[in-house]
Amino acid sequence: MATRKLGLIMHGVTGRMGMNQHLIRSIKAIREQGGVRLKNGDKVMPDPILIGRNADAIAALAQAHGIERWGTDLAAALANPQDTVFFDAATTQMRPTLLAQAINAGKHIYCEKPVATNLEEALSIYKLACARGIKHGVVQDKLFLPGLQKLKLLIDSGFFGRLLSVRGEFGYWVFEGDLQPAQRPSWNYRVEDGGGIILDMVCHWRYVLDNLFGNVQSVSCLGATHIPQRVDEQGRTYQATADDAAYATFELKTPGGDPVVAQINSSWTTRVRRDDLVTFHVDGTHGSAVAGLTDCVSQARVNTPKPVWNPDVRQPFNFFDHWQNVPETMAFDNGFKTQWEGFIRHLEEDAPFKWNLLEGAKGVQLVECALQSWRERRWIDVPALAA
């Protein structure tokens, strides 16, 4: 058994997501476990170089997490033939340009989503990667959440019978910045800086819906800017120009051709009274389930109570009592780390990895369709994207 290095350029990891999920909980964790084991017993050890604009910040980050290599010169990093992979978790607006630079330098690509702010750029990057013959992947983290993996187990087992509908609720209250500091950066609320919850979240819903329930056929979406004024990181009041909530309905079609209706509310202006920050309630002819980030509960047809509507009598049922926890039959690792390991195996031994730049482009496509629906106040069909 041998261990070989994988030179990895990590760009944009001083931000919250890039630092916590990709650097600390994925690449650092993989290094601490001794690398990624391949089928033949060999191991692959990521050897990252952290690249960012602020030398002090990037140096401090590297030192804090035992990363020997760091720098501020992206061009020099791309010119190093020992670093064969480029990862980006910086701003969406810059991503197509950065990915094109890396692809033209012959690097394999792994990146956060959205892969672009518009479909034209997203498809252009995908086609460029195909033309250059490099491997590419896009983060689809919610598919690897324990709650959604348990939900997929129910789907694969036939538990639901025929799928009927999905109701998703995502979000929490993001403070305006005056009473308490906001939990999200101010650029999230400025459309000119690539902000907006539709751009941020609908690309997630595309891969969740497509991979778990059925391919998206059409969308009706209403966006809103409920909080028109916020306070930024410097204490300055600014106008929120981006949407902070979205109310969307999707028409899906299962692999067997059955129609499914999905409704997903996404909001940074809601106070949570549900099982988790995101929940998916799935109904089928033979059973129902509700999945959150880590847990999933189910109710079979034979365990379904029979309530009767009577507003004059206090409800005799506690409806939460009729659900059963889906047990954990396997150990769940961090979802970002799990997908990193899958992509590394794809690079090193050509293991299957379906979540590529085309899948990323599908997310951007649904964002555009949702924005068009909001703008034109009508249903928008979502055409298939050919590979």
Class of domain 3-141+335-355: alpha beta
Residues in the chain: 387
pLDDT the model gives residue 364: 98
- What pLDDT band is residue 204 in, cutting at 50, 70 and 90? very high
Residues of the chain with CATH 3.40.50.720: 3-141+335-355
Residues of the chain with CATH 3.30.360.10: 143-334+364-380
pLDDT the model gives residue 349: 97
pLDDT the model gives residue 222: 98
Average pLDDT, the chain: 96
157 CA to centre of own chain: 25
Asked if the model's pLDDT at residue 312 lies above 80, the reply is yes
Asked if the model's pLDDT at residue 1 lies above 80, the reply is no
Strands 287-291 and 278-284: antiparallel
Asked if the model's pLDDT at residue 196 lies above 80, the reply is yes
Q: 84: helix, coil or strand? A: strand
Give the Cα separation of 112 and 115 in Å (integer): 7
pLDDT the model gives residue 331: 87
pLDDT the model gives residue 117: 92
**Which DSSP helix (H) or strand (E) runs through 211?**
helix 197-212
- What pLDDT band is residue 315 in, cutting at 50, 70 and 90? confident
Q: Give per-residue pLDDT as tens, 138-170.
A: 999 999 999 999 999 999 999 999 999 999 999
pLDDT the model gives residue 369: 98
Distances, alpha carbon 182 to alpha carbons 16, 273, 365, in Å: 13, 20, 29
> What is the DSSP track for 106-120?
T-EEEE-S-S-SSHH
Give the Cα separation of 271 and 360 in Å (integer): 30
Question: Quick one: average pLDDT of 11-32?
Answer: 95
Instruction: Provide CB contacts within 8 A for 312, sequence distance 6+.
Output: none
pLDDT the model gives residue 317: 87
Q: What is the value of pTM for the model shown?
A: 0.95
- What pLDDT band is residue 386 in, cutting at 50, 70 and 90? confident
- Give the tokens for residue 76: 């020099």
**Which DSSP helix (H) or strand (E) runs through 260?**
strand 259-267
Q: Give per-residue pLDDT as tens, 116-142.
A: 999 999 999 999 999 999 999 999 999
pLDDT the model gives residue 67: 96
pLDDT the model gives residue 330: 85
Instruction: Provide CB contacts within 8 A for 373, sequence distance 6+.
Output: 219, 220, 221, 222, 379, 380
Q: Give per-residue pLDDT as tens, 208-244.
A: 999 999 999 999 999 999 999 999 999 999 999 999 9
Q: Give per-residue pLDDT as tens, 274-296.
A: 999 999 999 999 999 999 999 99
Judge whether 160 and 212 are in contact, CB under 8 Å.
Answer: no
Asked if the model's pLDDT at residue 91 lies above 80, the reply is yes
Written as one letter, the residue type at 113 is K
Domain 143-334+364-380 has CATH 3.30.360.10: yes
Q: Give per-residue pLDDT as tens, 40-58.
A: 999 999 999 999 999 999 9
Q: Measured on CA atoms in the order 212, 96, 225, 15, is the torsion positive or negative?
A: positive
